[in-house]
A and B are shown apart, each in its own frame.
Chain A
C-alpha cells in the first residue's frame, strides 16, 4: 500500500522542492535584459542584472533567507521600449497652431532609481518629453519646424536626458515623427494655394507653348521668305550673267542673238505682221486708215 504514495511523492518531489527553493529565495533565474532588485526591511540590499541562475544567499549571505518574509524581489525589464506621444500642440513663431507627434525610446538603466525615486516614472518621462518638445519647438519658424526635425529631436533628447536619468531611465532615440496642421481651415487654404500655383503653372506652360509655336512659325516664315526671294532672283541672276558674258565677248553677237530670238518668238506667235521699211511713219498711218 505504500507504493502509490511513494510513487506520487517521487513524481512531485522535484517540483515541490523547486517551488520551496523559489519561495524561500534560495535561487533565482534572471533573464536577458532583466534586473532583479532585492529589498529587506525597507532597504535595497542588492541588484542582480546578469542573466542566468543565481543564488541570492551567495550575494547577500543568510539574510537572503529573510527576503521572502521581510522583503521583496522586484523584476525590472531593461529592454528598450518605445512610446509615441501624439498631437502635442505647439505654436510656431508666426502663431500657427501645429500638432507634433514625438516618438521616443527609453530603457531602464538604474532599476533601483526606476523603482523607488519616482512613483510614476513613465508618466513623468512622458510629461518631460512633452514639456521639452513644446519649449523647444514653440516660437520656431514653421519652415524650420517642418524641415529640420532631426536636429530638433536631438535638442529635445539633450534636454530630457538629464532629468530622466535621475529616475533610472536612459532616453534612447527621440524623433519628431509628425508635424501637422491642426486647423482644418488652414489645411484647406494651403490646398487652395497649391491648386492656384498649379493652375498658374498650367497657364505659364500653355503660354510658353504658344510662344514657342509662334517662334517656330515666325522663323519658318522668315526662312521661307528668304528662299522665295532667292527663287525670284534666280532668273535675273542666271540670265543676266549669261547675257553679260555674251556681251563681254562681242556686243554684236548679243544684238544678233536677241534679234534672232525676237524673230523666232514672233514667228511662234500668231500675231498679224506688217513689214515696213525704216522711217516709214507716214505709210504706217496710211496703212491704218486703209484698214478702217
Chain B
C-alpha cells in the first residue's frame, strides 16, 4: 500500500516537474514562435492550396519547388503553456545584416565579379534581411540553411548583373550637359558623340556611376526570397566596387581630365562673352560718335536753310563772307586785288 502511494507520488512529482520546468514559455517582442506537437507544426488549414494558387514573384516551376504551407505563429507575449510533447521554435524577426562576402565555407574579404569588359573586380557591401513572419515554414523546417540559400541566390544574380551591366543612360563619360556649347551647334554634338563612342565598354565606370540602380535591381530580383526561403530582403547595399589599382588610377585621370576640360571650356566661354560684350560696346561708341558728328551738321544745315529761305542765295553768300571775317584777324598777310586786276580777270 505504501509502495503504491510512493509510486503515485513519484509519478506526480515527475509529471509536475516536467510540466512546470518546460511547459511555460514567453515570446519576446522581436521574436515569433512556432509550436510543434510530436514534431508536427500546426499548419493553417487551406494555406498549401493558397500557396499553389500562384505567387507573382515565382515562376510556375518555382511554385512547385518552393511549395510551403503557412504555420500557426505565436506572437510576442506570454507566459504561454505547452504540453510536454510539444516543442517551441523561436525565431527573431528583427532586421539583421550580413556582409556580402559572407560564405560559411570560405573566408573572403570581398567577392570577385567579372564585368562586361571582362575586368575582374572586387565587390563588397551588405544585405539587410529579416525572417518573414508570414512564411516561417521554409525558414524553420523547409530549408536546411536559409541564409546560405539567400546568399547563394543573391551572389549569383549579382554577378550575372555585373557581367551584363551597361549604363542605361547611354554611358557617357563626357557629360553632354557639362560640355554643351549652349547654342546647339552640330559640330559640338558630333565631337561629343565621338567621345561617347570611345567611352563605351568601360563598364567599371558605369557600375560605379549607377550603384543605386544596381542596388535597386538586386532588391527587385530578390523579392522572391520570401516565398523561397522565408527570408525577406530589406535592402541590398553594394558599397564597394574595387577594380585593380591601375584601373583606379586611369579612372582618376579621366575624372581629372573631365574637370580640366570643363574648366577650360568655362574659361573660354567667359572670355568669349567678355569679348563679344566689348565689341558690342565698341559699336555703340562708334555710333554715338558718328551721331555727335552729325548733330552740328544737321543743326547748321537747318539754320542755313532757314537763312536761304528768307534771304535767298545772296544772303547765304553774305553769311559765308561774314563767316570768313575772323580769318582776316588771324591772317599773316593779305593780297588785295585792285579794280584793274578785277577787270582783267573778268
A interface residues (Cβ-Cβ under 8 A, vs B)? 2-14, 29-34, 50-53, 77, 79-82, 84, 86, 103, 105, 142, 146-147, 149-150, 153, 170, 172-173, 175-181, 187, 190-195, 197-202, 204-206, 208-213, 215-217, 219-220, 223-224, 226-228, 230-232, 234-235, 237-239, 242-243, 246, 249-250, 252-254, 256-257, 259-261, 263-264, 266-267, 272-277, 279-280, 283, 287
> With contacts A103-B152, A201-B195 known, is A239 near B265, CB below 8 A?
no
Q: Chain B, 5-41, contact with A by CB distance < 8 Å: what is the 0/1 string?
A: 1111111111100000000000000000000111111
Which of B145, B179, B244, B316 contacts A212, CB < 8 Å?
A: B179
Could you tell me the distance in whole angstroms from the C-beta of B283 to the nearest C-beta in chain A? 4
B332 A272 Cβ-Cβ under 8 A? yes
Residues of chain B within 8 A of A219, CB atoms compared: 272
Report the separation of the CA atoms of residues A10 and B291 in the bound assembly, to the nearest whole angstrom.
Answer: 130
A274 B333 Cβ-Cβ under 8 A? yes
Chain B, range 245-265, C-beta contacts under 8 Å to A: 246-247, 250-251, 253-254, 257-258, 260-262, 264-265
Report the separation of the CA atoms of residues A267 and B324 in the bound assembly, to the nearest whole angstrom.
Answer: 10
Residues of chain B within 8 A of A257, CB atoms compared: 297, 300-301, 304
Segment touching A, from B44-52, B153-161, B209-217, B231-239 = B153-161
Residues of chain B within 8 A of A201, CB atoms compared: 173, 195, 198-199, 202, 254
B335 A283 Cβ-Cβ under 8 A? yes
Report the separation of the CA atoms of residues A175 and B156 in the bound assembly, to the nearest whole angstrom.
Answer: 6
Which of B85, B159, B164, B304 contacts A177, CB < 8 Å?
A: B159
> With contacts A194-B204, A204-B195, A254-B301 known, is A6 near B5, CB below 8 A?
yes
Asked if B181 is at the interface of the complex by the 8 Å CB criterion, the answer is: yes
Which of A9, A267, A277 contacts B326, CB < 8 Å?
A: A267
Segment touching A, from B73-81, B94-102, B125-133, B186-194 = B186-194
Asked if B220 is at the interface of the complex by the 8 Å CB criterion, the answer is: no
Report the separation of the CA atoms of residues A185 and B62 in the bound assembly, to the nearest whole angstrom.
Answer: 41
The 4 A-B pairs with the shortest beta carbon distances in the complex, nearest first, are A10-B10, A209-B261, A6-B6, A227-B279
Asked if B169 is at the interface of the complex by the 8 Å CB criterion, the answer is: no
Chain B, range 272-328, C-beta contacts under 8 Å to A: 272, 275-276, 278-280, 282-283, 285-287, 289-291, 293-294, 296-298, 300-301, 304-305, 308, 313, 316, 319-320, 323-324, 326-328
A287 B41 Cβ-Cβ under 8 A? no
Which of A194, A213, A217 contacts B119, CB < 8 Å?
A: A194
B9 A253 Cβ-Cβ under 8 A? no
B118 A274 Cβ-Cβ under 8 A? no
> With contacts A79-B143, A217-B272 known, is A208 near B283, CB below 8 A?
no
Which of B120, B143, B282, B316 contacts A187, CB < 8 Å?
A: B120
Most buried by B among A8, A13, A256, A259: A256
B interface residues (Cβ-Cβ under 8 A, vs A)? 2-15, 36-41, 62, 65, 85, 105-106, 112, 114, 116-120, 137-138, 140-145, 148-149, 152-153, 155-157, 159-160, 163-164, 173-174, 179, 181, 185, 187-188, 191-192, 194-195, 198-199, 201-202, 204-205, 243-244, 246-247, 250-251, 253-254, 257-258, 260-262, 264-265, 268-269, 271-272, 275-276, 278-280, 282-283, 285-287, 289-291, 293-294, 296-298, 300-301, 304-305, 308, 313, 316, 319-320, 323-324, 326-328, 330-337, 341, 345
B119 A191 Cβ-Cβ under 8 A? yes
Residues of chain A within 8 A of B119, CB atoms compared: 190-191, 194
> With contacts A176-B156, A194-B247, A273-B330 known, is A238 near B144, CB below 8 A?
no
Q: Which residue of A lies closest to B336 (CB)?
A: A277
Report the separation of the CA atoms of residues A209 and B332 in the bound assembly, to the nearest whole angstrom.
Answer: 70
Could you tell me the distance in whole angstroms from the C-beta of B85 to the nearest C-beta in chain A? 8
Could you tell me the distance in whole angstroms from the C-beta of A3 to the nearest C-beta in chain B? 4
- At the interface, is chain A mostly helix, strand, loop or mixed? helix
Q: Which residue of B lies closest to A178 (CB)?
A: B159
Q: Which residue of A lies closest to B203 (CB)?
A: A194
A82 B331 Cβ-Cβ under 8 A? no
Report the separation of the CA atoms of residues A210 and B153 in the bound assembly, to the nearest whole angstrom.
Answer: 48
Known contacts A10-B8, A10-B10, A234-B290; 16 additional CB pairs below 8 A are A50-B40, A80-B142, A82-B145, A82-B152, A147-B164, A149-B163, A178-B159, A231-B283, A252-B313, A253-B304, A263-B324, A274-B331, A274-B333, A275-B327, A275-B334, A279-B345
Residues of chain B within 8 A of A264, CB atoms compared: 323
A197 B290 Cβ-Cβ under 8 A? no
Q: List 21 A-B contacts (CB under 8 A).
A: A7-B7, A11-B14, A13-B11, A31-B40, A51-B39, A79-B144, A82-B152, A149-B163, A176-B160, A177-B152, A190-B120, A193-B117, A198-B247, A202-B257, A209-B262, A209-B264, A212-B181, A220-B272, A239-B290, A253-B305, A263-B324
Could you tell me the distance in whole angstroms from the C-beta of A243 to the nearest C-beta in chain B? 7
B293 A261 Cβ-Cβ under 8 A? no
Report the separation of the CA atoms of residues A99 and B4 in the bound assembly, to the nearest whole angstrom.
Answer: 74
A231 B282 Cβ-Cβ under 8 A? yes
A9 B7 Cβ-Cβ under 8 A? yes
Most buried by A among B289, B294, B297, B301: B301
A213 B276 Cβ-Cβ under 8 A? no
